[in-house]
């Protein structure tokens, strides 16, 4: 009895084999390590969901796929905005004839044409407090009249009572193809945020039709539309037949042509019929599947500290034998161990903070956890920003140096008046990745004669600790939302202290002054100079152990074409193409390798 | 002494049990014959090995601890011990049947009694289930179970002790066995029922003309029912003869002890006389005659203490294992 | 019979209440609320206030007709567990979605486990005391001593990846029987030890009874005795074991589901734990308890089927 | 049973005959000694640097070799030492979990079984409730909500205990697994209460507490031993799962954590750390299982009949 049962199992297993590729149906398989929270742009906060939704939903602007440094190009917008002299009014023309993907929410199921009003609606929705959007921070105190609208929504009893027709002065639509935004104060970064998914247009029909279920039914103008979404398992997207005419870029960086990245220049997008994204939260299966050639591209979700750092080693000969390609690229992330400047031990003790900073062997860390693919950080502005200060290391004086560290400890003890108490570093996770980081850090601090205990907690608890300023030190990082250092500087702005984004509770009037001036300036050498200045001020106060600038990396099989790593790689699947022949060849190769 | 009408003859049967303290000699070269249609009684205190003898005949010694080490059991002149398990099964419950002491636990609680009896019939007589059931009903009537038709569908826990024993008997005789082994059939029952059951057995013996191997510790029962008797003590046969011979002149001091220790009708005794001491553990039998520590005659006799007496024919067809046994 | 069931159902009321009390204390009192996590980064105080209002966390815990506890009772008993806060989905939907995958994994696992271990147990029990028995018991203990996680990791690495006997992981359009095959196999092997050992003990206890001897005395063959007489008696402990195991099938398997990408309830729970999404765990706990209570009743009814001695009076 | 031997003596004699069980016992003792040694060393501040798990003894991810029999981990620390320290975590958890659940289960069970009536109803209600919540869920729930909390025992004069990894784990396990032992004891006490010796004790006017603690508990004690010799394994395995879910001990190596590490190492082909931990768990579980069985066979009269 039992044998036959086992037999069944085995047969079930053995019949399994790689499914034959169908040449005229091109599919791009990818995997994600974190679960998809929901595809409602207005409430999206995590990168995984953004990565999915951005294939379906478009914004006004997008980043050029090939050009570096990163450059914004119109997406739904006709062209770049017309900015008034005082930088307070933005006039944006919207492409004509762009239609939402067909969806039951529209009458007769045909996708309606995109209107300027859809943007206004979307942004009012984010302002609506009853909707509890995570993304209010984007518009908070920026657009004329929008904050008043938020105040008004507070007075409403229920969500249904909110009247989205009540006018907002700062958001006007002279006609269906023109959007005029009035700002309270200059805000040059707005263009970047108009490429940021939460600012995408929403069709009011969809919101009303689906209600709270809108999270499962994204309705956008993008190149793909949602076909199947098996919760917690996989998402399948198919070509949107009525996608507007968009073509593969025909210029890029010098050697793009050599790398065959321009082979498809001028072709109509998207180049792949279907996108299948499988959700795999465990490392082993994810890696096995990639090696088996089921997943074409193995990216690394940047959701938080652990997932940003992948512990895989260099490409081994076996990998090369499998023609696996490796792309590394700088992204706009910086990771650090922040200090709570309001902590009575750390806050008043600069030498201690510096000692801690000097104690961390960044190179070793990078070798251990990022396979030599990170860059040691001494400041917070990532190297790919125009205002990056190459000299920052010398300014900071916090490079790894044990003697120095020990000296500083002595001094710190003098200031503290006695033996230093045990410090605690909060880790935003409890799993093995964090434990390994913790073990490493403990050793570093121990060598410098510092007693630091690592306190592991889950992400929510961690956030809570930070918000309540009850974390002494905390491991965290920041992934730039856009290539403007302002996005990083605001982390140290005293008006943003917890529960705001300034987790360090760092406050320095001089810095504030510079920041306030700089952040309203348009991109310019002067502004960069101010940014540098501001960073220096922060670095001198050493509010964190700046650890690494993220260098992400991507592994691909040779049949995945047009792969160019992108720091803001949202909605870029439309450029990708797969070569079925090569893919078939790979399964052959596997057989020979066995 | 094997005669032609001998149904079952046991020769030098020895059955041991392996325990942590070494082999327990439960039965040591026991020999006896059972003629057809006779009642042969095996008497002795509990733990003297009579039940094990019975189980050995059925070849139901619990394995692997227990094993028949030597001897020969010929039933209708085939040695049972040499049969394959398969052949043996055709004998069990069919030619040789057995009823046990505990009618409660010996019946399967979760099957109706009808099923349990019919099962044996279906097995041995290759009868259709329906036929088997009707036969079962007849048999139940034969063992005097009132409205058998209904009882068929009842479960053991719904019956009284006596009824259960009747069911056991019914099950045993269902295939008209030529030998019925009754292991303490009445011990668990109260006196009035005891008589009925024994009467039933007699009656059945007549009608079915089968032999009965009656295993009991109750000499009273033996006196009324048995034709021949073997008295067992400490895994061996102490004395063997016909029933009335035994009661007329018991030769073995143990037998005498047993006879004295039961209340005599008529004669008033202020106290029963008993056998001093108690039955030895099978693991540490005394040296020499196993009875000598309790024996009124031989307890300080050198020979009794050292050399074990063999079973010998003291007078014609009267065997005893005692140095002092004589006419 | 009916009266009995009703009586039993009444008896379950305090237990359900107890469960609700426990879950409430665990997830609403001890754990504290998660409003600020819902609010996301840089959330203002009033947003948080709004959220607390939305989820009813601003109400008093007990001692009020509109207290959190009363609502907790109401919602749980109507199986309306609200929406998960990590993604705004109705929890009950998540559970419905998860049930099927979980069951498609656990039920075959369970049945296979049952058949294999019981038949093995009978065989082993028959050879009790012999080398076969000792050996098998030893193997059981060996199986029981390996951590489950190790089974999974090694199984996935060798059986699926290295030797390619099975799919490594769930894959779109891959027929279900294929990708659950390996987890099922692993599950069975990992569980075999304990079960076989348990059933063996049960069987041994049965084999000591006199009726077994009677059955043999009847001339029945070993097979008949074991599979007819012994098994039916052994059913009573087995049923207890089996029926009470069924509710747990709905929980799926935490680790297996996670490592083989089966979007079941076990998976759901791990996510919930990581996200501190207490209301999901609360819902699972409650449903699990309900099932347990129900199947407890079913067990008692099953007794009456196999055991004539049991009656409902 | 040979006459003239007490129940315990006889059981122990029988146990001693069981060679396999004795070897198992040996293994268990070794584990315990190791753990005690570590604790002693920490307590007496003696230098055990040769055991310092956090010390770098080689390159990262060394295969098992001469210097490092079990290889090294990602920081070049000896897997052997980590495994040894892992024993501490696992055994501590198992130990405290057992203590807690005995302290809760036995008195409740005894009281319920002895006094019956209202007390019984309450106790039965509590444990039926708890046992109707799926075990794993219950453990998770407890571990989840207990983590990071502080336990105020000032009333007991024990001060406050802040719950970190290890204490969370054994509290969670302890608070959830007293149910079975409670049920067991209750049933057994109810049985014994009818026995003559209790009636006798009552007849010459023993106090209830005396009867419970001097007469009943000793007579049902073997059940406690048996159930825990077998339960220990479960506790150790529970630690693995909790660690996997990130609810386990963090600041010192534990077997769960080591196996957990394989999730990152195995894809890279570093099998030894996981194997070491698995082996360690395997050995102790095996020993406990065998020993527990032997113990049961020798202590439990029902099974003695065989």
Classify residue A473 as left (phi > 0), alpha (psi -120 to 50) or beta.
Answer: beta
Chain A's closest residue to D258, CA to CA, is: A432
pTM: 0.80
Query: Does any CB of chain C come closer than 8 Å to the CB of residue D281?
Result: yes
Please report the residues numbered 233 through 272 in chain D whose beta carbons come closer than 8 angstroms to any beta carbon of chain C. Answer: 233, 237, 240-241, 244-247, 255, 259-260, 262-263, 266
pLDDT for residue D27: 93
- Series of mean pLDDT values for 10-residue runs along chain A (594 residues): 38 42 75 84 85 93 90 93 92 94 90 93 91 85 92 84 88 93 92 92 92 89 91 88 92 87 90 90 80 76 34 58 78 89 90 92 83 81 88 86 91 89 87 84 89 83 82 88 87 85 91 91 89 92 90 80 84 88 85 74
CA distance A4 to A270: 49
Distance from CA of A546 to the nearest CA of D (A): 22
Across A142-151, C28-37, C239-248, the highest mean pLDDT is recorded for A142-151
Work out the average pLDDT over C217-238.
86
Chain A residues lying within 8 Å of C83, measured CB to CB? 212
Contact D138, D126 (CB under 8 A): no
Residues D198, D216: Cα–Cα separation, whole Å? 8
Domains of chain D as residue ranges with CATH? 7-303 (1.10.3720.10)
Residue numbers in C near D146 (CB within 8 A): 30
pLDDT at position A121 is 94
Average pLDDT, chain B: 86
Q: What is the pLDDT of residue D161?
A: 64
Of A15, A276, A467, the CB nearest to C36: A467
Residues in C touching A35 (Cβ below 8 Å): 87, 271
pLDDT at B261 over 60: yes
User: What is the structure's pLDDT at A23?
Assistant: 59
DSSP collapsed to 3 states, chain B = CCCCCEEEEEEEEEEEEEECCEEEEEEEEEEEEEECCCEEEEECCCCCCHHHHHHHHHCCCCCCCEEEEEEEEEECCEEHHHCCHHHHHHHECCCEEEECCCHHHHCCCCCCHHHHHHHHHHHHHCCCHHHHHHHHHHHHHHCCCCCHHHHCCCCHHHCCHHHHHHHHHHHHHCCCCCEEEEECCCCCCCHHHHHHHHHHHHHHHHHHCCEEEEEECCHHHHHHHCCEEEEEECCEEEEEEEHHHHHHCCCCHHHHHHHHCCCCCCCCCCCCCCCCCCCCCCCCCCCCCCCHHHCCCCCCCHHHHHCCCCCEEEECCEEECCCCCCC
| Strand pairing report for A178-182 and A171-172 | antiparallel
List the single residue in A with minimal CA-CA distance to D241: A431
Q: Which chains touch B (3 or more CB pairs under 8 A)?
A: C, D
Residues within 8 A of C (CB atoms), D 210-239 only: 233, 237
Interchain contact, C214 vs B171, CB within 8 Å: yes
> For residue range B125-148, what is the model confidence (pLDDT) as tens digits?
888 888 888 899 988 988 888 888
Q: Measured between CB atoms, which of A429, A433, A440 is closest to D264?
A: A433
How far is the C-alpha of A185 from the C-alpha of A87, rounded, in Å?
A: 8
Q: Which pairing describes strands B211-216 and B39-43: parallel, antiparallel, or unpaired?
A: parallel
A501 touches C at CB < 8 Å: yes
Among chain D, residues having any CB pair with chain A shorter than 8 Å are 54, 56, 60, 74-75, 147-148, 165, 246-247, 250-251, 257, 260-261, 263-264, 266-268
Q: Which is more confidently placed, D137 or B221?
A: B221
For residue B66, the chain D residues in CB contact (below 8 A) are none
Task: Give residue B49's pLDDT band: very low, low, confident or very high (50, 70, 90).
Answer: confident
Q: At what angle do helices B161-173 and B113-125 cross, to 10 degrees?
A: 10
Which of the two residues, D270 and C21, has the higher pLDDT score? C21
Q: Does any domain span residue B161?
A: yes
**Which chain D residues touch C22 with a CB distance below 8 Å?**
129-130, 133
pLDDT digits (tens, 9 = 90+) for C68-80: 888 888 888 888 8
pLDDT at C87 over 60: yes
pLDDT tier at D267, thresholds 50, 70, 90? low
Contact criterion met (CB < 8 Å) for D14 and B20? yes
Handedness of CA A341, A346, A349, A350 (dihedral sign): negative
Residues sharing a CB contact under 8 Å with residue A168, sequence separation 6 or more, in sequence order: A120, A124, A143, A144, A145, A146, A148, A149
Tell me how close the Cα of C136 comes to any Cα of chain A, in angstroms: 15
Residues from chain C that touch D130, judged by Cβ atoms under 8 A, are: 22
Chains D and A physically touch (3 or more Cβ atom pairs below 8 Å): yes
Percent of chain C with pLDDT over 90: 5
Of A420, A232, A407, A268, whose CA–CA distance to A344 is shortest?
A420
CB of C223 within 8 Å of any CB in chain B? no
Q: How far is CA A282 from CA A35, A319, D266, in A?
A: 12, 20, 12
Q: Which of B270 and A529 is assigned the larger pLDDT?
A: A529
Q: What is the pLDDT of residue D30?
A: 93
Tell me A542's DSSP state.
-
D161 Cα to chain A: minimum distance (Å): 16
Please give the tally of structural domains in chain B.
1
Residues of C in contact with D306 (CB under 8 A): 128, 204, 208
The answer to whether the Cβ–Cβ distance between B21 and D2 falls below 8 Å is yes
Is the minimum CB–CB distance between D57 and chain C shorter than 8 Å? no
Q: Is the torsion defined by CA of D173, D175, D176, D177 positive or negative? A: positive
Higher-confidence residue: A205 or D137? A205
Chains in contact with A, where contact requires at least 3 CB pairs less than 8 Å apart:
C, D
What is the average pLDDT value for chain C, to the nearest integer?
Answer: 83
Asked whether residue B264 is domain-assigned, the answer is no
Contact A231 C97 (CB under 8 A): yes
Closest CA in chain B for residue C303: B110
Whether the pLDDT of residue B229 is over 90: the answer is yes
Asked whether the predicted pLDDT for residue B82 surpasses 80, the reply is: yes
* C209 at B interface, C-beta within 8 A: yes
Residues of B whose CB is below 8 A from D17: 20
Q: Does a structural domain hold residue B159?
A: yes
The answer to whether the beta carbons of residues B135 and B121 sit under 8 Å apart is yes
Assigned domain for B84 exists: yes
Q: Which of D133, D240, D282 sits opposite C22 (nearest CB)?
A: D133
**D interface residues, B as partner, C-beta within 8 Å:** 2, 14, 17
Structure tokens belonging to residue D130: 């708890």
Domain membership of residue B211 (yes or no) is: yes
Q: What is the CATH number of the domain that holds B36?
A: 3.40.50.300
> Neighbours of C (≥3 Cβ pairs closer than 8 A)?
A, B, D
Q: Distance (Å, rounded) from C-alpha D252 to C-alpha D165?
A: 10
Say whether pLDDT at C2 is over 60. yes
CA dist A181 to A57, A92, A194, A524, B279, Å?
A: 21, 8, 11, 23, 111
Of the candidates A312, A368, A442, which has its C-beta nearest D74's C-beta?
A368
User: Are A433 and D267 in contact (CB < 8 Å)?
Assistant: no
Per-window interface: A 223-282 vs D, CB < 8 A: 282
**Residues 119-178, chain A, touching D (beta carbon < 8 A):** none
Whose CA is closest to B79, among B145, B137, B20, B8?
Answer: B8
Q: Does C178 touch chain B (CB under 8 A)?
A: no
- What per-residue string of b and e applies to A429-468 under the rule 16 or more CB within 10 Å gives b? bbbbbbbbbbbbbbbbbeebebebebbbbbbbbbbbbbbe
Q: Do chains D and C touch (3 or more CB pairs under 8 A)?
A: yes
The label of the residue with tokens 């299966």 reads: A285
Residue B279 lies in a domain: no
Is residue B317 situated within a structural domain? no
pLDDT, position B2? 45
Specify the pLDDT at position A316. 64
Q: How many CB pairs under 8 A join B and C?
A: 73
* pLDDT tens digits, C178-219: 888 899 999 999 889 888 888 888 888 888 888 998 999 888
Classify the complex by whether its ipTM is higher than 0.85, answering yes or no: no
Are A340 and A504 in contact by the 8 Å Cβ rule? The answer is yes
Q: Coil, strand, or helix at residue A239?
A: strand
Q: Are A329 and A415 in contact (CB under 8 A)?
A: no
> Does an H or E element contain A94, and which?
none
pLDDT by residue (tens digit) across B235-249? 899 999 999 888 888
**Tokens linked to C71:** 């609502």
| Touch criterion met for B and C (3+ Cβ pairs within 8 Å) | yes
pLDDT of residue A299: 57
Task: Say whether residue A231 is in contact with chain C using an 8 A CB cutoff.
Answer: yes
Domain of B172, in residue numbers? 3-226
Among candidates A312, A430, A443 on the partner chain, residue whose Cβ is nearest the Cβ of D54: A443
Inspect the interface and report whether the beta carbons of B64 and C219 lie closer than 8 Å: no
Give the Cα separation of A460 and A326 in Å (integer).
34
- Both tokens of A262, joined, read 């321009």
Interface-testing mutation among A290, A435, A447, A463, with chain D (most D C-beta atoms within 10 A)? A435
Residue A479 with chain C: CB contacts under 8 Å: none
Among A555, A47, A522, which residue's Cα sits nearest to residue A297? A555
Q: Do A1 and C115 touch (CB under 8 A)?
A: yes
3-state secondary structure chain C: CHHHHHHHHHHHHHHHHHHHHHHHHHHHHHCCCCHHHHHCCCCCHHHHHHHHHHHCCCCCCCCCCCCHHHHHHHHHHCCCCCECCCCCCEHHHHHHHHHHHHHHHHHHHHHHHHHHHHHHHHHHHHCCCCHHHHHHHHHHHHHHHCCHHHHHHHHHHHHHHHCCCCCCCCCCCCCHHHHHHHHHHHHHHHHHHHHHHHHHHHHHHHHCCHHHHHHHHCCCCHHHHHHHHHHHHHHHHHHHHHHHHHHHHCCCCHHHHHHHCCCCHHHHHHHHHHCCCHHHHHHHHHHHHHHHHHHHHHHHHHHHHHCCCCCCC
């Amino acid at each position: 009895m039992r044998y036959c049962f086992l037999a069944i199992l085995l047969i079930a297993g053995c019949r399994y084999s790689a499914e034959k590729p169908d040449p005229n149906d091109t599919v791009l398989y990818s995997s994600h390590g974190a679960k998809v929270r929901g595809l409602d742009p207005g409430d999206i906060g995590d990168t995984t969901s953004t990565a999915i939704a951005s294939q379906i939903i478009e914004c006004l602007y997008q980043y050029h796929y090939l050009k570096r440094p990163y450059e914004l190009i119109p997406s739904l917008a006709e062209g770049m905005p017309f900015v008034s002299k005082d930088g307070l009014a933005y006039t944006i023309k919207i492409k004509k004839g762009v239609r939402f993907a067909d969806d039951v929410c529209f009458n007769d199921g045909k996708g309606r044409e995109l209107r300027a009003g859809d943007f206004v609606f979307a942004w009012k929705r984010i302002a609506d407090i009853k909707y509890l959007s995570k993304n209010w921070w984007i518009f908070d105190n920026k657009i004329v009249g929008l904050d008043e609208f938020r105040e008004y929504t507070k007075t409403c009893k229920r969500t249904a009572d909110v009247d989205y027709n009540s006018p907002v002065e700062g958001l006007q639509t002279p006609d269906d193809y023109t959007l005029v935004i009035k700002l309270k104060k200059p805000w040059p970064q707005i263009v970047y945020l108009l490429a940021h998914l939460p600012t995408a247009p929403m069709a009011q029909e969809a919101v009303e039709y689906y209600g709270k279920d809108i999270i499962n039914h994204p309705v956008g103008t993008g190149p793909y539309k949602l076909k199947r979404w098996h919760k917690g398992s996989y998402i399948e997207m198919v070509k949107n037949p009525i996608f507007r005419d968009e073509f593969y870029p025909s210029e890029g960086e010098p050697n793009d042509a050599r790398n065959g990245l321009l082979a498809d220049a001028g072709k109509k997008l998207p180049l792949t019929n279907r996108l299948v994204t499988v959700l795999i939260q465990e490392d082993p299966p994810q890696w096995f599947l990639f090696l088996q050639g089921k997943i074409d591209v193995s990216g690394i979700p940047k959701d938080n500290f652990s997932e940003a750092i992948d512990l895989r080693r260099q490409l081994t000969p076996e990998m090369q034998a499998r023609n696996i390609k490796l792309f590394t690229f700088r992204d706009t992330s910086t990771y650090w161990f922040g200090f709570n400047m309001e902590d009575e031990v750390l806050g008043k003790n600069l030498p201690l903070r510096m000692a801690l900073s000097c104690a961390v062997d960044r190179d070793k860390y990078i070798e251990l956890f990022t396979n030599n693919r990170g860059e040691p950080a001494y400041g917070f502005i990532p190297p790919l920003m125009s205002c990056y200060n190459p000299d920052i290391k010398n300014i900071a004086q916090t490079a790894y140096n044990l003697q120095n560290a020990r000296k500083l400890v002595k001094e710190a003890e003098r200031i503290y008046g006695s033996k230093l108490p045990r410090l605690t570093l909060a880790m935003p996770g409890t799993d093995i990745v964090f434990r390994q980081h913790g073990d490493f850090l403990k050793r570093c601090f121990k060598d410098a004669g510092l007693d630091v205990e690592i306190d592991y907690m889950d992400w929510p608890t961690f956030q809570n600790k930070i918000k309540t300023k009850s974390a002494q030190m905390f491991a965290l990082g920041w992934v730039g939302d856009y290539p403007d250092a302002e996005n990083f500087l605001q982390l140290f702005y005293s008006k943003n202290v917890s529960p705001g984004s300034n987790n360090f509770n760092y406050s320095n009037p001089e810095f504030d002054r510079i920041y306030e001036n700089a952040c309203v300036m348009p991109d310019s050498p002067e502004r960069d100079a101010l940014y540098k200045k501001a960073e220096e001020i922060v670095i001198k106060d050493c509010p964190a152990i700046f650890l690494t600038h993220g260098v992400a990396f991507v592994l691909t099989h040779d049949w995945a074409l047009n792969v160019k790593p992108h720091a803001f790689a949202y909605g870029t699947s439309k450029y990708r193409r797969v070569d079925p022949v090569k893919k078939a060849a790979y399964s052959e190769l596997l057989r020979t390798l066995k | 002494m094997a005669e032609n009408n001998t149904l079952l003859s046991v020769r030098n049967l020895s059955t041991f049990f392996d325990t942590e303290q070494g082999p327990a000699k439960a039965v040591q070269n026991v020999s006896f014959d059972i003629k057809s249609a006779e009642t042969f009684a095996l008497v002795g205190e509990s733990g003297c090995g009579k039940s094990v003898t019975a189980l050995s005949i059925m070849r139901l010694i619990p394995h692997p601890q227990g094993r028949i080490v030597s001897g020969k059991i010929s039933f209708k002149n085939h040695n049972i011990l040499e049969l394959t398990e398969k052949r043996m099964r055709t004998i069990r419950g069919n030619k040789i049947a057995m009823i046990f002491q505990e009618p409660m636990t010996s019946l399967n609680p979760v099957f109706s009694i009808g099923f349990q009896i019919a099962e044996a019939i279906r097995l041995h007589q290759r009868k259709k289930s329906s036929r088997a059931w009707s036969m079962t009903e007849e048999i139940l009537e034969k063992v005097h179970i009132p409205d058998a038709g209904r009882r068929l569908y009842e479960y053991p826990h719904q019956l009284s002790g006596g009824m259960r024993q009747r069911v056991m008997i019914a099950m045993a005789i269902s295939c008209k066995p030529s030998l019925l082994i009754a292991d303490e059939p009445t011990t668990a029952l109260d006196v009035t029922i005891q008589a009925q059951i024994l009467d039933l057995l007699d009656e059945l013996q007549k009608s079915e003309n089968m032999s009965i191997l009656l295993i009991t510790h109750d000499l009273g029962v033996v006196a009324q029912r048995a034709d021949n008797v073997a008295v067992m003590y400490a895994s061996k046969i102490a004395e063997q003869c016909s029933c009335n011979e035994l009661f007329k002149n018991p030769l073995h001091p143990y037998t005498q002890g047993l006879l004295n220790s039961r209340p005599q009708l008529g004669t008033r005794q202020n106290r029963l006389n008993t056998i001093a001491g108690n039955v030895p553990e099978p693991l540490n039998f005394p040296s020499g005659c196993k009875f000598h520590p309790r024996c009124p005659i031989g307890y300080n006799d050198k020979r009794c203490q050292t050399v074990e007496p063999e079973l010998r024919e003291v007078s014609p067809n009267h065997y005893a294992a005692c140095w002092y046994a004589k006419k | 019979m009916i009266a009995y069931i009703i009586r039993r159902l009444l008896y379950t009321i305090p237990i359900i209440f107890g469960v609700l009390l426990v879950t409430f204390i665990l997830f609403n009192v001890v754990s504290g609320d998660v409003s600020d996590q819902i609010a996301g980064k840089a959330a203002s105080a009033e947003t948080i206030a709004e959220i607390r209002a939305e989820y009813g966390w601003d109400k008093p815990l007990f001692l009020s007709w509109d207290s959190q506890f009363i609502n907790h009772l109401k919602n749980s008993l109507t199986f309306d567990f609200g929406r998960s806060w990590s993604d705004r989905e109705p929890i009950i939907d998540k559970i419905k979605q998860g049930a099927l995958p979980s069951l498609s994994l656990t039920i075959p696992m369970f049945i296979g486990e049952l058949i294999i271990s019981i038949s093995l147990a009978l065989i082993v029990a028959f050879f009790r005391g012999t080398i076969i028995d000792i050996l098998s018991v030893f193997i059981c203990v060996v199986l029981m001593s390996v951590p489950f996680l190790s089974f999974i990791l090694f199984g996935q690495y060798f059986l699926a990846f290295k030797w390619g006997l099975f799919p490594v992981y769930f894959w779109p359009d891959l027929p279900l029987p294929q990708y659950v095959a390996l987890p099922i196999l692993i599950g069975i092997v990992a569980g075999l030890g304990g079960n076989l050992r348990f059933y063996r003990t049960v069987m041994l206890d049965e084999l000591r009874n006199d009726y077994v001897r009677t059955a043999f005395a009847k001339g029945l063959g070993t097979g008949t005795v074991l599979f007819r007489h012994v098994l039916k008696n052994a059913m009573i402990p087995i049923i207890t074991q089996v029926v009470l195991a069924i509710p747990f099938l709905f929980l799926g398997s935490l680790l297996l589901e996670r490592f083989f990408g089966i979007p079941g309830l076990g998976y759901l729970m791990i996510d919930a734990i990581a996200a501190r999404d207490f209301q999901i765990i609360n819902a699972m706990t409650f449903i699990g308890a309900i099932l347990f209570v129900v199947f407890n009743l079913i067990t008692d009814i099953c007794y009456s089927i196999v055991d004539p001695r049991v009656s409902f009076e | 049973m040979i006459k003239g031997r007490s129940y315990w003596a006889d059981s122990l004699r029988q146990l001693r005959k069981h060679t396999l069980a004795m070897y198992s016992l040996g293994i268990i003792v070794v584990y315990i000694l190791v753990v005690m040694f570590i604790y002693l060393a920490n307590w007496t501040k003696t230098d055990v640097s040769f055991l310092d798990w956090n010390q770098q003894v080689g390159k990262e991810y060394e295969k098992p070799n001469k210097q490092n029999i079990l290889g090294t981990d990602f920081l070049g620390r000896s897997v052997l030492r980590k495994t040894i320290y892992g024993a501490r975590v696992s055994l501590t958890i198992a130990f405290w979990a057992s203590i807690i659940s005995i302290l809760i289960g036995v008195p409740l069970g005894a009281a319920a079984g002895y006094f019956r009536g209202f007390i019984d109803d309450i106790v039965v209600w509590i444990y039926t409730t708890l046992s109707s919540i799926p075990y794993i869920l219950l453990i998770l729930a407890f571990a989840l909500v207990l983590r990071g909390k502080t336990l105020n025992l000032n009333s007991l004069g024990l001060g406050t205990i802040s719950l970190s990894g290890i204490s969370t784990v054994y509290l969670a396990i302890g608070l959830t697994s007293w149910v079975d032992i409670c049920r067991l004891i209750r049933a057994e006490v109810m049985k014994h209460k009818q026995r003559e010796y209790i009636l006798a004790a009552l007849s010459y006017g023993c106090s209830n507490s005396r009867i419970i603690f001097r007469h009943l508990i000793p007579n049902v004690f073997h059940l406690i031993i048996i159930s825990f010799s077998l339960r220990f394994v479960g506790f150790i395995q529970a630690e693995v799962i909790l660690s996997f879910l990130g609810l386990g001990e963090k600041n010192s190596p534990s077997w769960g954590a080591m196996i957990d590490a394989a999730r990152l190492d195995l894809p890279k082909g570093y099998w030894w750390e996981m194997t070491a931990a698995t082996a360690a768990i395997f050995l102790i579980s095996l020993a406990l299982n065998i020993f527990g069985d032997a113990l049961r066979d020798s202590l439990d009269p029902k099974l003695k009949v065989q």
